[in-house]
Amino acid sequence: MCLNNYEHIWDCCCDHGLLGINLLDRQAAPTIHFVDIVPELIEALNLKLVELFPATPNNQTSWKTYCSDASQLPLDKHQGKHLVIIAGIGGDETMSLINQLHQKFQNLDIDYLLCPVYHQYALRQHLIKLDFSLLDEQLVKERKQFYEILHVSSCSGLKKEISPAGRKIWQGETEVQAEIAHEYLARVLSHYKKSRINHGDKVDEVIRAYELCAEHIQA
């Protein structure tokens, strides 16, 4: 994924700032912002950043830390293009954060990098209702866990429409990627078929959408 076209990257620290630190090391943007509502976590992160990235004349990237709720990001106080990273929380919480930020900053140029731990289908449907555009998507397997990573824009019509069940994540370019896609799809379908016990016909549409994805898996 290309994450190099931003003036400001906001890591909401759901992964304790690990992704933001990686982007800071790559000097991916002029300013990387770290935000967490827990004071102890921000204090620890601040000490870590001071040690790893001390201010020097050669640094092209600066960093800032904030002890704040992620829904209160001061995006309007900083000019330029923004990327907001929300990872490691559920789809419902992700939707809530996006709703609050989108309502506040509809006139700003904001992209999002999202990696929910569950409720991916519901999140995708919500992004479609908000008329967001898909910039990129990836499927990653790490320590026996699967993650859908969505790079989306709040501006409609920029690249591609968002699919409720995903498209590119099923199109592995290698045999290994295709195996990961097959394994993930089997797990997702098993989950939704089991949920029929409690939700009945409500999940049939979701199951059909994922069953169609099997046709797109390739290596």
pLDDT band at 155 (very low <50, low <70, confident <90, very high): confident
- Kindly state the tokens that stand for 116: 């929910």
Q: E strands within the chain? A: 8-11, 31-36, 62-67, 82-87, 110-115, 133-142, 145-153
pLDDT band at 207 (very low <50, low <70, confident <90, very high): very high
DSSP H stretches of helix in 35-166:
39-52, 91-104, 120-129
Would the pLDDT of 16 be above 80?
Answer: no
Q: Which residue has the tokens 């990257």?
A: 9
Mean pLDDT of 33-45: 94
User: Which DSSP helix (H) or strand (E) runs through 211?
Assistant: helix 204-213
pLDDT recorded at residue 70: 94
CB 177 within 8 Å of CB 207: no
pLDDT recorded at residue 208: 95
Using one digit for the tens of pLDDT, what is the confidence trace for 106-143? 889 899 999 999 999 999 999 999 999 999 999 999 99
pLDDT recorded at residue 156: 75
Would the pLDDT of 29 be above 80?
Answer: yes
Global confidence as pTM: 0.93
For residues 50 and 52, give the distance between their C-alpha atoms in angstroms, rounded to a whole number. Answer: 6
What is the DSSP code (8-state) at residue 186?
A: H
pLDDT recorded at residue 219: 57
Instruction: Give the best-scoring range by mean pLDDT among 30-39, 157-166, 199-208.
Output: 30-39
pLDDT band at 14 (very low <50, low <70, confident <90, very high): low
Mean confidence (pLDDT) of the chain: 92
160 strand-pairing partners: 134
